[in-house]
């Protein structure tokens, strides 16, 4: 099973009922028949796993969009109210007590 880097979107039918869809820029380990079909259509190029690992290390040096912290920030307006099972089933769970 070779590694393929897709340079365009590609749909590969593995059988009459099955189809896999690959997006531009994906680097995927695919069956040989898929790799050959992608190359014949001009939508993919075989690559090695080592080349993929070298590309991945460059993207890790960028600043991530998500920052993990040790404390959890809770917005008071978004905290869920405690609800009983009976209140959930009867539809009275959102009412104020009283």
- List pLDDT tens digits, range 71-83: 666 666 665 566 6
The domain locations on the chain are 3-57
At residue 9, the 3 state secondary structure works out as coil
DSSP state of 65: S
pTM comes to 0.49
**pLDDT tens digits, 1-17:** 899 999 999 999 888 88
């Amino acid at each position: 099973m070779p590694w393929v880097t897709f340079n365009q979107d590609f749909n590969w039918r593995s059988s009459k009922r099955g189809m896999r869809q690959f997006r531009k820029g994906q680097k995927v380990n695919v069956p040989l028949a898929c790799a050959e079909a992608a190359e014949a259509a001009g939508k993919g190029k075989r690559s090695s796993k080592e080349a993929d690992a070298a590309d991945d290390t460059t993207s890790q040096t960028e600043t991530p969009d998500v920052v993990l912290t040790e404390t959890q920030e809770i917005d008071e307006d978004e905290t869920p109210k405690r609800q009983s099972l009976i209140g959930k089933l009867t539809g009275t769970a959102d009412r104020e007590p009283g």
